[in-house]
Amino acid sequence: MSKQLPDLREQTVSVLDNLRKTSYLPWWYFRSRILNQKRPLQTVLFVTDYCNLKCKHCMEEGHHGSRMKPYEEIRKELEYSYKRGSRFIDFEGGEPTLWRDSEGRVLNDLYRLAKEVGFWSCTLTTNGQRPFGDTLADSVWVSVDGYGKYHDLIRGEGTFEKLDKNIRESGHPALSIAMAVNNRNYKSVGELIQYAKDNPAIQQIAFNFHTPFPGTEELMMDWELRNKVIDRIIAYKKKGYPVMNSVSGLRTMKKRGFPKDCWIANYILIDGTKLPNCPGSVLGACDDCGFSMAGEMYSVLRMKPDTILAGMRLRM
Ligand SMILES: C[S@@+](CC[C@H](N)C(=O)[O-])C[C@H]1O[C@@H](n2cnc3c(N)ncnc32)[C@H](O)[C@@H]1O
């Protein structure tokens, strides 16, 4: 009996917490769409620009190696984003698993901090070169840019083998992979979808398409090829393969220059610059943007049911 009471209390707290969270989303939607008060729901917070790889499709700034953002600065940025309305946090880099500070803190301390501030869910985006089985992130995205040699072509010899081992050994219950498709690796899309399906450690696979950031323009697929690749991904999805992108979101990604609703995520860069939307807008890359989040956001705000479902499955 004495054990049952705390159990009941815990269950009630958890039900109330879920209710509070579920009602926040329609309120956020109402505020953004009807009252036109655009507020972020997600924050992409850069914690370091140190990286252990030098990928062909990444801008020089992505592996500059100039800064580990201090803990207290990150706390202020989390508080700022939470106050603006954000409830989901993605620590980004560089390679975020390299983050540490002089007090001996590591990335897991930032996940604890984010929860303390009030964030509901934390994401790790990693290149998977270091074991990440002990991460406190609620979901993990490993960047895999093709199967085997295709991935290595973009990220360096032996990098696929390492991430494959770390994925199999991680034991994380919410692990997915993300591929950035470009004109060097697009032939590997089918093989990588099959790899995701056959690997019990992987929940799903998401696709982004190369965005021609300064210095990486030569990897951009022409639009005809990009659209053919998107059609191939949609066909896999319709056959039941575990593709995270929604069909509506993917179809949107076929239209060059579609309107962007990228204020759904705010960005805080490595130098502390606070942007109300994706840095791509500052770099003039929006028309050729390949980040599928743009297509998903566009479709969510236009109430496409498949995109809303995909988003809920991902986030809740
Ligand atoms: C910059 S990385 C940083 C996090 C981590 N080091 C990693 O490799 O996942 C974040 C994501 O952006 C993707 N990315 C980088 N440059 C890109 C580009 N020009 N176009 C599309 N995706 C890109 C990467 O493939 C990766 O999935």
Q: Residue of the nearest CA to atom 13 in ligand 1?
A: 180
> Is-above-0.75 flag for pTM?
yes
Which atom of ligand 1 is closest in space to residue 211's alpha carbon?
20
Tell me the CA distances in angstroms from 6 to 3, 12, 17, one per residue in order.
6, 10, 16
What integer best gives the mean pLDDT of the chain?
94
Determine the pLDDT at residue 313. Answer: 78
The count of residues in the chain is 316
The C-alpha atoms of residue 263 and residue 7 are separated, in whole angstroms, by: 40
Nearest CA to ligand 1 atom 6: 95
Q: Number of helices and strands (H, E) in the chain?
A: 10, 8
The residues pairing with 89 across neighbouring beta strands, listed in sequence order, are 43, 122
Rounded to the nearest angstrom, the distance between the alpha carbon of 29 and the centre of ligand 1 is: 28
Beta strand spans in 166-258 (E): 175-181, 205-209
Best of 208, 209, 229, 245 for a ligand 1 pocket test (most atoms within 8 Å of beta carbon) = 208
> For residue 208, what pLDDT band results from cuts at 50, 70 and 90?
very high
Domains of the chain, start order: 39-315 (3.20.20.70)
Closest residue CA from atom 16 of ligand 1: 58
Element (H, E) at 14: helix 4-29
**If you ran DSSP here, which 8-state letter would residue 146 be given?**
S
Residue 43 has what pLDDT?
Answer: 98
Question: β-pairing, 121-126 with 205-209?
Answer: unpaired
Per-residue pLDDT reduced to its tens digit, 56-80: 999 987 788 889 999 999 999 999 9
Tokens of 142: 């490993």
What's the whole-number mean pLDDT along residues 265-294?
93
**Residue 294 confidence class, pLDDT cut points 50, 70, 90:** very high
Q: What sign for the dihedral angle of Cα 238, 302, 221, 142?
A: negative
pLDDT of residue 149: 98
Residues 165, 257: Cα–Cα separation, whole Å: 39
Q: 215 in the Ramachandran plot: left (φ > 0), alpha (ψ -120 to 50) or beta?
A: left
**Average of per-residue pLDDT across 44-64:** 93
135-144: average pLDDT: 98
75 three-state secondary structure: helix
Share of the chain above pLDDT 90, in %: 78
Q: What pLDDT is recorded for position 295? A: 96
Does 1 score more than 60 pLDDT?
no
